[in-house]
Chain A
Amino acid sequence: MKNTTNKRVKLDWSRLFGFNQVQSAQAEHGTKRTRAALAAKIGGKPGVKTT
């Protein structure tokens, strides 16, 4: 993530649907963490997802 202080468009995440559930401490870690908080729910039955 680029320097957050000089962004051309400043967004307050508390006003953004879906992103406002991400705690500010988590948000500081960047977009990867944010996306994890909004993650897809993947699965089905046990054993389907194998490693």
Chain B
Amino acid sequence: MAVQTQDNLHAFAPSAERVFFLDQRMRSRLADSLRYILTQGEGVLTVPHDRLQKFLTDLESRPVSPLAFSFYNDVVLAIEEDDVEKASQLLTELTTLPPRAGGLEIIELADPKHDAIAARYARFLNDDPSISFEIFPPSKQIAEKCRAQIRDAFALLDAGDPELAGEIRALLREIVLAAGNKDPKAYTFDGASSFMLWGAIILNADRGDGAIGMVQMLAHESAHNLLFGFSADEALVENTPDELFSSPLRKDPRPMDGIYHATFVTARMHRVVRQLLESGILDAAAKEKALKDLAENARLFKHGIETVQKFARLSPLGTSVMRGASDYMAAAS
């Protein structure tokens, strides 16, 4: 399926319009790859062809569940393992995903120990072989509090940074509320997203940093999705995954792809805080926190960009995208 190109596709400034292009391109590439798999697997894979053809037609015409990308990922890995029975089963399950009406849904994670979909989310957000952390359903009370924070955050965005509000609503299909391990010695998480869950973010709903913190969390995780959308056809970073570096946002050393993402999303967090401050809509307490966070985001970006400039081997796309973030930070300081 042909996808139209768009001017300023990789600009640093938010834009809902370019996200419609990115989403269409992601779905188009997924459909192309699934058709290729079906061609290669003809006579070997056992799938409901009519249902799959309808799924592919729908996939190219309207938004789809983020889970569709995860099923595709697992189909490829099953075929790599020569497990065509599992691949066939996954392709069949793919056709049963409910259609999406569009718009952003906030859902609560079920128990991954008893719910296959919840287990799928948990697995895709915890697929780094170097670490392992637990993910749980949030309590009703915590989930309700988080929903209120998200509502307040979007109210701030609509009033103070409508362009980013529009981009986030265009990028995200699902915000999945979850909870982490409260043991101070255990790994936990603040938020997470995955290329193969395009359009979904998972948030640790047990948070205490209010609407200003939630605004930055939404800016952060949606920016990861934006970078996933940018990199549909081309990698941002050419360093190998086993080259590890100090990260501005995590204590553990990370591959350059992770450093690149962390640096870019930190600039996006800085930008939204600055927009809200300049809009004049923040009360005194929110303004105080915003000023503190603005300085912290600037410090973290400096940490990240120094590592990127020193060690990264960027693709032309990666160079162009990071230049936008760097130019913004230089102008803002």
Contacts and interface: CB of A to CB of B under 8 A. Distances in A.
Contacts, number: 151
B158 interface: no
Contacts of A47: 251
A11 B80 CA distance: 8
B81 A2 contact: yes
A41 B188 contact: no
B127 A39 contact: yes
Interface residues of A, number: 39
Interface string B9-29: 000000000000000000001
Interface string A21-46: 10100100001111111111111111
B87 A40 contact: no
A27 to B, nearest CB: 9
Given A17-B33, A18-B73, A50-B186, A2 B82 contact: yes
Nearest to A7: B82
B33 A15 contact: yes
A35 to B, nearest CB: 5
B333 interface: no
Interface SS of A by simple majority? loop
Contacts of A21: 231, 234-235
Contacts of A48: 188-190
Interface string B30-41: 101100110011
A41 B224 contact: yes
A26 B249 contact: no
B241 A26 contact: yes
Contact of B193 (A2, A11, A31, A40): A40
B56 interface: no
B241 A45 contact: no
Interface of A: 1-4, 6-11, 15-19, 21, 23, 26, 31-51
Q: Which 8 A-B pairs have the closest CB atoms?
A: A44-B190, A17-B29, A40-B194, A17-B33, A21-B235, A42-B192, A41-B224, A9-B41
Interface of B: 29-30, 32-33, 36-37, 40-41, 44-45, 69, 72-73, 76-77, 79-82, 84, 87, 124-129, 184-197, 204, 217, 220-221, 224, 231-232, 234-235, 240-242, 247-252, 255, 257-258, 261-262, 300
15 contacts: A8-B82, A11-B76, A17-B33, A18-B195, A38-B73, A38-B127, A39-B127, A41-B194, A44-B190, A45-B190, A46-B251, A47-B251, A48-B189, A48-B190, A50-B187
